[in-house]
Amino acid sequence: MAEAKVGDEFITHEFDEAIAIHRAIVEAERSLIGTHPLGDVKRALRGYLKEDQRFLSELETLGSEKGATGKVEEVAGSMTELMETTLQGAPEAESEAYEAHAVLLSLKRKQQDSGVAMIRIARDRKDTKLREAATRFERGQRLAAKDLGASLAEFASRIASTQ
């Protein structure tokens, strides 16, 4: 059983998880830019990648102030493994690319939730720098997730209508 984390130790854990998951997001976006069958999604992924590289750098900087390095623990490890597995099949078939797209969306939504938690922690601790960074991060993940969700639905419709 995992040891309970509280206070500063919990914050370090949350940063470790956010960094690890964001590293997986950046790698997934890089990979899907090369393999996704839809040009409009590839273009969107290029934009997300630039933004997510900045977010990752900011997470690593803010996290290092809390002792976080991006240590991969249970949740981040499982989600990263799922992302890696689905990316392997993405070049093989549209349905496999669809699965990788869906997992990327799940990672983005996880980060959106982490952003909301970071905002709350920053407010409680009166940490303006963290609050502002977390607000940008959450907003970026929310908007990207909304777009990825819409394009995933279109992608599903395309696959389903193929004879």
Residue 97 within any structural domain of the chain: yes
Provide the residue-wise pLDDT of the chain in tens; the chain has 163 residues: 566 778 999 999 999 999 999 999 999 999 999 999 999 999 999 999 999 999 999 999 999 999 999 999 999 999 999 999 999 999 999 999 999 999 999 999 999 999 999 999 999 999 999 999 999 999 999 999 999 999 999 999 999 998 7
Domain assignment of residue 23, yes or no: yes
Please indicate, yes or no, if residue 2 is contained in any of the structural domains.
no
Residue 107 structural domain:
7-161
The confidence score (pLDDT) of residue 5 equals 78
**Angstrom distance (rounded) from CA 18 to CA 114:** 7
Q: What are the tokens at 97?
A: 């690319």
1 domain-assigned: no
Candidates 142, 143, 115, 119; CA nearest to 129 is: 119
Name the domain count of the chain: 1
Residue 135 CB partners (closer than 8 Å, separation 6+): 115, 119
At 62, list the tokens.
């803010």
DSSP single-letter state for residue 6: -
CATH code, domain with 88: 1.20.1260.10
In a domain, 81, yes or no: yes
CB distance 145 to 108 below 8 Å = yes
